[in-house]
Amino acid sequence: QRGGYDQQEWNITVINVNLPPRLYKNITNQSWPENTDETFNISAYIRDPDGDNLSFIYNLTSDCQAVSCVDITFSGTSGDYVATLSPAANWWGVTNITITANDTEYNVTSNSFKLNVTYVPRQIQYISVDSSSSGGRSSGGTKSMIVSMSITAEPFMVVEPAKILTTLVTLKNTG
């Protein structure tokens, strides 16, 4: 037949497939002085390709869990999440952390990264120096000097509580 046509109908069902959150790069080791909090953009490391909202949990090494040495809070919205790491007051040491993100269906867990919270001296050390003899002249008494010292061990070392570490330390008078 001329000018005729065919007609066919299709029913199409579109199924939304949820993609799991992804770890885009490893979280780098973190280090800062005790009694300070630090914040970093967790979205630089973990994101959801669908833009789903994520919830986060974290795990610490077992020695740190026992004393609750670090608390981590997460804030923000999809694609712009921030993690705030808050060490316990006066706590210093090293712990390993993993962070897990969940989009209500799938999880992704980060690499294990180190958090190194460095010790901050609590008081200034006063040293008395006998100045009673100075080039044949007596100035009498003592003088006090304020001393500040920082020791950095290279390579990085971890010392367990109640353990002894012997290492070479070189001190230099800088004035």
Choose the weakest-confidence range: 16-30, 80-94, 131-145. Answer: 131-145
Give the number of residues written for the chain. 175
The Cα 105–Cα 89 span in angstroms is: 36
Question: For 55-64, 74-83, 110-119, 159-168, which range has the lowest pLDDT when averaged over its residues?
Answer: 159-168
Q: What is the rounded CA–CA span in Å between residue 19 and residue 121?
A: 48
Q: Which CA distances in Å does 132 have to 56, 144, 146, 147, 162?
A: 65, 13, 19, 21, 41
Report the pLDDT value the prediction gives residue 138, as an integer from 0 to 100.
47
Name the residue among 112, 110, 109, 102 with its Cα closest to residue 48. 102
Please state the pTM of the whole predicted model: 0.64
Tell me: the pLDDT tens digits for 8-39? 898 998 888 999 999 999 999 999 999 999 99
